[in-house]
Structure 1
Amino acid sequence: MSASFFDAIGHMGEQVALSWLILDLTDNPFMVGVSLALRMAPLFFLGIPAGTIADMVDRRLLIRSLNIVMGLLMVGIGALLYLEMLQAAARSRQPILQNLREFGGELRRNTPLLTLVIIVAATETLGFSSGATLPSLARDVLNVGAEGLGWLNGFRSGGAVVAILLLSLFGEVGRRGALLLLNLLVFGAALVLLGQSPVVATFLPGGGTSGESASLILGQSPAFVIALLATGIVGGAMAMSDIFSQSMMQNIVPNEQRGRAMGAWIVGIGTAPIGNLQVGAILKAAGVGIALSANGIALALVGAAIFAFYGRMRRM
């Protein structure tokens, strides 16, 4: 648990630094989404064989080696960003505390920004935490083992890439607030479908949870195929959530406060440990299906409530 906690901190810190760097270099919020998609692209190719590789080697040695490599890469990138930060600080004469006070006032005045922070926190807590359920789903419900877990993670990453590519076809889109709220509904529905994939499979001809008791679809049980599709939709919704929330936060604050807006975004995604703990607790107490379905329904209700009671967000 402690390893997951610190891993989440490092992952989120890396994502914020990368997002801000890309925005600073391109001044294009859409490119932030592209960079995050490219960051996930290797997972699309490595996710499927990952489960098999994990069974072929010493897992503890593999994890330690990978963490060392990732740590060295982050240190290098961090050093570059630190040098850039020093140069930016030298150019700025405005005290940091004054900047923080100004942004605090902006957050109190700017209701859309505060609402976006709430949306990001809800999405992180209820939606992104679904990754913690995939091992149990693969082993205990779908009976597909480590290889199946690799497929689930691969489809989730692939769904993110596909969503970015589809969005790029439309270029700059309007009414991003409405699209963000709609994305919450889709995200929630996909989580429910993922959690209830064995149940949904029983309504299909010859449906079931295992190859021995069900008619196979492309060599796989119907429940596993449904879970793969649902996981792909979840990955797409995750990518859309990051793109819309980050770009909207950048656009509703003055240019000199964009860095602090990203700080507000990291506050929202900093709820990741809470999400992992709560989904783990529900998973242990009531099972994978209930954990995913409960979070999916709650996430959809957040989107529906904001859509119904805060018209300004859906008009943005």
Structure 2
Amino acid sequence: MSSTSPFTLAEDETEIASRFRTFRSLRNPVFRRLWMAGWLWYMNRMMEMAVLSWLVLELTDSPSQVALVGVFRMAPMFLLGLVAGSLSDRFPRKYVMIATQIVNVVVVGGMLAVLVGGDVEPWHAYLATFLTGSAWAVDFSARRAYFAEIFRGDALTNAISLDVVCLTGSSIVGPLFAGAIIELVDFSGSYALMFGLYLAAGWVLFTIPKTESMGEEKTPVLRQLKESVTVLATNRALVAALTITVSLNFFGFPFLTMVPVIGRDVLGANAFLYGILAGAAGVGSLTGAIIIASRQIRNHGQVYSLGSAFMLGIMVLFALSEWYTVSLVLLMVAGLGMSGFATMQPTIALRAVSPEMRGRAMGAIALGIGASPLGMLTVGWMAEPENLGPQMALAVLTGTGFVVVMALRFMLPELRGVRR
């Protein structure tokens, strides 16, 4: 992209020192629109996870069945990760993102019709979340590669941090809205709101310009996939980012599927209190993301790996807590570590590769995120009453993850000092 493009934010050290550093990326008109669409898109994702997890828990009363909601949500990351990255390098990223929104609108509209009809079954939830998860896998690569087209250096870190602000802020508001609407209306009320929000997000994306340098890579898809594997095998920074991604998604993020089970069966929460609990980690993560956005981070690997280890350690305490208030606070604290992981993951990956490989780099990260279904299946099986139960299952999984992440820090120097 030309340096004179009206959609490029030219950052120099004077601008970086500005007192408006935290939100400086929002001066870019394209990013402002992406940021607005991100709030709508992420809030829907968080609402959907909360609604479908509670719905399946009510339908089946089974922790392993609830875990399957997360499994079907995240499986497309593994199945489509590299392909999605290739698509975002091959086609204009604006149109890739719009296509994912069309899929979301169709799926949410169909699920709304099923809920209104009153004949909902668990498989409806699994199918719906698999389809929206597939759209998310494609959007994940395209959206972040788009960021790297309009920002560079510390400005890219700032933009990604503000994107995490959207993600984490939505993880607070989304479950809260979902729980409140379930209590006040029903499950269909939550889906009606989601349908409207997806339409609004799609409209915002239509206003984003397509610039000439975005998504014009015409290398054959099979060659792109081969290049993705080659880069993944030889780029040490990308390997470091991927190992932590796999570890946290297998050992850490399956906690999301245990929150409704622990909330209802251990802490005595109703749907509204569950919504508050499900959004608690977002409070800490939002705080951490704002702090990171306001600073110049020099050691990305340190923040990335220590944030991941911190989250896992606090999750062990959450798993063992018997008190709602204590559990709420622990999830907020864990969110601080989560913000280090969420902001540094795409930053490291995007800065480790050449511009034409950015979509494929994010596709490789998406492949690592695909480890979460295995973790969710594992914790769901362990959480059944005849095995360990939900608390001990989550404590064992996250405790093991803490040990693994600390071992990776010792083995991979990039996780102790990935610098600019």
- TM-score with structure 2 setting the length: 0.62
* CA distance in structure 2 between the partners assigned to 1:85 and 1:266 by the alignment: 25
* Residues 1:196 and 2:320 aligned together: yes
Equivalent residue pairs, number: 288
Aligned twin of 1:54: 182
Query: Cα offset for 1:247?
Result: 0.6
Alignment of 1:205-284 (within 5 A): 223-284=323-384
* CA distance in structure 1 between the partners assigned to 2:317 and 2:324 by the alignment: 12
| Aligned 8 A contact 2:287 2:336 in 1 | yes
| Amino acid of the structure 1 residue aligned with 2:378 | Q
Aligned twin of 1:139: 264
* CA distance in structure 2 between the partners assigned to 1:11 and 1:96 by the alignment: 20
Query: Cα offset for 1:153?
Result: 2.1
| Aligned 8 A contact 2:285 2:339 in 1 | yes
Aligned twin of 1:299: 401
Q: 2:248 aligns with which of 123, 136, 139?
A: 123
* CA distance in structure 2 between the partners assigned to 1:74 and 1:191 by the alignment: 33
CA offset digits 1:64-90 (Å, max 9, x no partner)? 424433553565567778x9499745x
* CA distance in structure 1 between the partners assigned to 2:413 and 2:213 by the alignment: 42
* CA distance in structure 2 between the partners assigned to 1:66 and 1:23 by the alignment: 32
* CA distance in structure 2 between the partners assigned to 1:165 and 1:42 by the alignment: 14
| Aligned 8 A contact 2:284 2:332 in 1 | yes
Q: Which moved more, 1:279-288 or 1:8-17?
A: 8-17
Unaligned runs of at least 5 residues, structure 2: 1-68, 70-125
| Aligned 8 A contact 2:320 2:395 in 1 | yes
| Amino acid of the structure 2 residue aligned with 1:119 | I
* CA distance in structure 2 between the partners assigned to 1:234 and 1:12 by the alignment: 25
Q: 1:29 aligns with which of 113, 136, 157?
A: 157
Instruction: Flag the 1:144–1:103 CA change in 2: closer, same or farther, 3 A.
Output: closer
| Aligned 8 A contact 1:19 1:35 in 2 | no
Instruction: Flag the 1:102–1:49 CA change in 2: closer, same or farther, 3 A.
Output: closer
* Residues 1:176 and 2:269 aligned together: no
CA offset digits 1:29-85 (Å, max 9, x no partner)? 3311211312442443454454233111121x224424433553565567778x949
Instruction: Flag the 1:154–1:85 CA change in 2: closer, same or farther, 3 A.
Output: same
* Residues 1:18 and 2:143 aligned together: yes
SS state at 2:268 partner = coil
| Amino acid of the structure 2 residue aligned with 1:255 | P
* Residues 1:65 and 2:187 aligned together: no
Aligned twin of 2:78: none
Q: CA RMSD in A?
A: 2.7
Aligned twin of 1:38: 166
| Aligned 8 A contact 1:29 1:247 in 2 | yes
* CA distance in structure 2 between the partners assigned to 1:80 and 1:238 by the alignment: 32
Query: Cα offset for 1:142?
Result: 0.9
| Aligned 8 A contact 1:132 1:276 in 2 | yes
| Amino acid of the structure 1 residue aligned with 2:277 | L
Instruction: Flag the 1:312–1:150 CA change in 2: closer, same or farther, 3 A.
Output: closer
Q: 2:415 aligns with which of 310, 313, 316?
A: 313
SS state at 2:341 partner = helix
| Aligned 8 A contact 1:249 1:261 in 2 | yes
* CA distance in structure 1 between the partners assigned to 2:172 and 2:333 by the alignment: 14
SS state at 1:291 partner = helix
Instruction: Flag the 1:105–1:282 CA change in 2: closer, same or farther, 3 A.
Output: same
SS state at 1:238 partner = helix
Q: Which moved more, 1:92-101 or 1:281-290?
A: 92-101
* CA distance in structure 2 between the partners assigned to 1:157 and 1:130 by the alignment: 13
**Identity, % of aligned pairs?**
21
- TM-score with structure 1 setting the length: 0.80
| Amino acid of the structure 1 residue aligned with 2:199 | L
Instruction: Flag the 1:49–1:261 CA change in 2: closer, same or farther, 3 A.
Output: closer
| Aligned 8 A contact 1:29 1:250 in 2 | no
* CA distance in structure 1 between the partners assigned to 2:333 and 2:138 by the alignment: 25
| Aligned 8 A contact 1:138 1:146 in 2 | no
SS state at 1:128 partner = coil
Q: Which moved more, 1:48-57 or 1:65-74?
A: 65-74
| Aligned 8 A contact 1:16 1:266 in 2 | yes
| Aligned 8 A contact 1:127 1:296 in 2 | yes
SS state at 2:297 partner = coil
Instruction: Flag the 1:128–1:277 CA change in 2: closer, same or farther, 3 A.
Output: same
CA offset digits 1:18-38 (Å, max 9, x no partner)? 323333233313311211312
Instruction: Flag the 1:22–1:254 CA change in 2: closer, same or farther, 3 A.
Output: closer
| Aligned 8 A contact 1:23 1:31 in 2 | no
